[in-house]
Amino acid sequence: MTATTKRANFDLSPEQEELLANLRAQLAASSTKEAVLKAAQLTAVLLEEVRQGNRLFVGKTPTTAVRLAIPELEARAPGQWRWLVERPHPWRRQLWVKGRKLLASAVWLDALTNDMGAREAAQNWDLPLEACEEIFAYCEANKALIESEASEERQRLKQANVDVEARAQG
């Protein structure tokens, strides 16, 4: 039986390309693919440790070690959210507001843009205060995911010849 492989092909911004080049150098990897796979393996190990309830510490000696908090690793598992749920989507991985076709980030970004707290956002979106507090906590802990999905959406709109800049100004 022959092994099958799958080609991973995606666009990178110059910043992302530089990040991968730096990662490759730091890991002394022979290729970008090897660097990404090493980083994925390391992340899987760290996620498993956090899942088991272990905490990460860094320091030159045990007495000087300090806790290393990595929000992307320590964010609550999807089943632990009361007001947020996963939804099937071709490329989005962030959570949605339960019972609505509404991304958690839509509420959070609207609140940030309009300088609203959780209470005002709850009134504006007709949501319980607890739901908005949970949305804010989730989005704060998952900023990198939200930013990457926004970038992906901009790229897809650009490929569809939608002028996002003109719409934002209009």
Q: What is the mean pLDDT of residues 61-87?
A: 76
pLDDT, tens digit (0-9, with 9 covering 90-100), for 28-60: 999 999 999 999 999 888 887 777 767 788 889
The pLDDT of residue 135 is above 70: yes
Residue owning tokens 């002028």: 163
* Confidence label for 141 from pLDDT (cuts 50, 70 and 90): confident
Quote the crossing angle between the two packed helices 32-51 and 14-26, to the nearest 10°: 80
pLDDT for position 69:
66
Q: What is the mean pLDDT of residues 51-74?
A: 77
Identity of the amino acid at 113: T
On whether the CB atoms of residues 77 and 84 are closer than 8 A, the answer is: no
Rounded to 5°, angle at Cα 156 from 15 and 98: 100
The pLDDT of residue 163 is above 90: no
pLDDT for position 94:
92
The pLDDT of residue 159 is above 80: yes
Q: Provide the whole-model pTM.
A: 0.55
Q: What is the mean pLDDT of residues 123-140?
A: 94
On whether the CB atoms of residues 56 and 68 are closer than 8 A, the answer is: yes
pLDDT for position 37:
93
